[in-house]
Chain A
Amino acid sequence: GAGVSQSPSNKVTEKGKDVELRCDPISGHTALYWYRQSLGQGLEFLIYFQGNSAPDKSGLPSDRFSAERTGGSVSTLTIQRTQQEDSAVYLCASSLNTGGETQYFGPGTRLLVL
């Protein structure tokens, strides 16, 4: 069965460049979440989408970060003018809805900014 997939699995970029990270949620899941995880640390909430509602962007650390979700399915997280402190694993999760449902995580994208 298809789980949450993310691409690329690894991304190395130079400081100042823009990057796009992609998430394909489980089919039929209306809620989609992005988290950031720095090495050896916990999960930092970034943004979530629920159906056609306006996304909750309260976790985005700066205006260099943005995300969109097209057609209620695939989501793209964009980081503009990357900085070295952006280096982390970016995890995507989806759930059937946000009414207390379990989140299913993708394998993450490991971003390294040189």
Chain B
Amino acid sequence: GESVGLHLPTLSVQEGDNSIINCAYSNSASDYFIWYKQESGKGPQFIIDIRSNMDKRQGQRVTVLLNKTVKHLSLQIAATQPGDSAVYFCAENGGRVIFGKGTRLHILP
């Protein structure tokens, strides 16, 4: 299966600053991408998605950028708040959904 056995990298951000979480995907045929947020003790929750015919999509305080040329996805969180502390996963779908390794976002007071 798609094993993601490494421990998660951590991004520490000052409260109020913007956060940028990056993800490299593997399948050039993937045409749908999703970001999930997983808070401690809970299952992942959908944040925002983007299809391959777009390069940017905005939600409430979140923006996803897609660069198909280099197979790179990013999640930008504006004005980071303590409630944004979580692990963030990207996922790609090119017939099979594959999750990235995840990044832990830590908010500094």
Contact = CB atoms under 8 A, between A and B. Distances in A.
A108 B8 contact: no
B100 A103 contact: no
Contact of B2 (A40, A59, A100, A107): A59
Interface in A18-44: 33, 35, 38, 40-44
Interface string B1-25: 1111111100000000000000000
B81 interface: no
B44 A105 contact: yes
Interface string B95-109: 111111110000000
Interface string B33-49: 01010000111111001
A43 B95 CA distance: 18
Nearest to B44: A105
Interface in B76-109: 89, 91, 93, 95-102
B43 A108 contact: yes
Contacts of B2: 43-45, 59
A25 to B, nearest CB: 13
Given A42-B89, A42-B102, A43-B99, A104 B46 contact: yes
A39 to B, nearest CB: 9
Interface residues of B, number: 31
A102 interface: yes
Contacts of A58: 1
B93 A100 contact: yes
Interface residues of A, number: 27
A100 B44 contact: no
Contacts of B4: 41-44
Given A42-B89, A58-B1, A91 B44 contact: yes
Nearest to B101: A42
Interface of A: 4, 33, 35, 38, 40-46, 56, 58-61, 91, 93, 98, 100, 102-108
Interface of B: 1-8, 31-32, 34, 36, 41-46, 49, 51, 89, 91, 93, 95-102
